[in-house]
Structure 1
Amino acid sequence: MFELSYNQETVHKLLEASDKPLKAYNILFETQKLGIKSPTQVYRALDKLIELGKVHKIESKNAFVACSKINCSNQNSTFFLICDLCENIIELEDQKINKQLNKTCEKYGSKYKNHTIEISGTCSKCH
């Protein structure tokens, strides 16, 4: 088991406590009083947390969320439902979609390394 550094643990706890995705500079602002002083420290922590499968980057928002799974098995295959109004994010795992993507790639003679699918709309609370 890999032990998180102080900065990684601090960033991870902040993301776990947040009900919305956070941008790197929001993370920096929130963690400055805890000793994280530079964007580089935040980005290094985020990079390692992503590598460990504890955090995901939401590309469309250029923001980050804590993984909602205890043992994330979908580091290379991630699906998100993103509410445009409240920014609620639901992380999904769907083996049927993964299999279909593999079949589609094989059909074209390609292999994918990883993918992130982000579906935006409105959640059940907002519509």
Structure 2
Amino acid sequence: MGLALLSAVRLAQGGPGLEEREAAVAANLRCMVCQNQTLAESNAPLAADMRRQIREQLAGGRSEAQIRDYFEERYGAFVRYDPPFRPSTWLLWLGPFALLMLGLALLARIVQRRQRAAPPPLTPTERFRVQAWLEGDEP
């Protein structure tokens, strides 16, 4: 009797694979509060609401792709941990590389300016005077 009741509860919740499917979808979506965690990892109240929506949609017969599309439509491509490469997400994909290149160009420019601003090398006479001063024999 207990096993039958457990089976009935499982079926009412959407079947035996519902939790695994929910976890799979939640692992591929970003928490909009934390942004460094997936929905599956986050303890934020919004993440709990989003996981509940995933569960309800899965129980309602929607596919994982349809659910991802729903959240992407609602929150934008940033909600996905693997946003598709298309014009609206180029900044997400190429932005870090552009910032890296900008940083390297800025670093190169700073190094060049410092090299140009460096004092000219000492003449042999100046070197002799410095060496004498360091040894305590001031000329």
With normalisation by structure 2, the TM-score equals: 0.20
With normalisation by structure 1, the TM-score equals: 0.21
Higher strand share: 1
Q: Rg bigger for which structure? A: 2
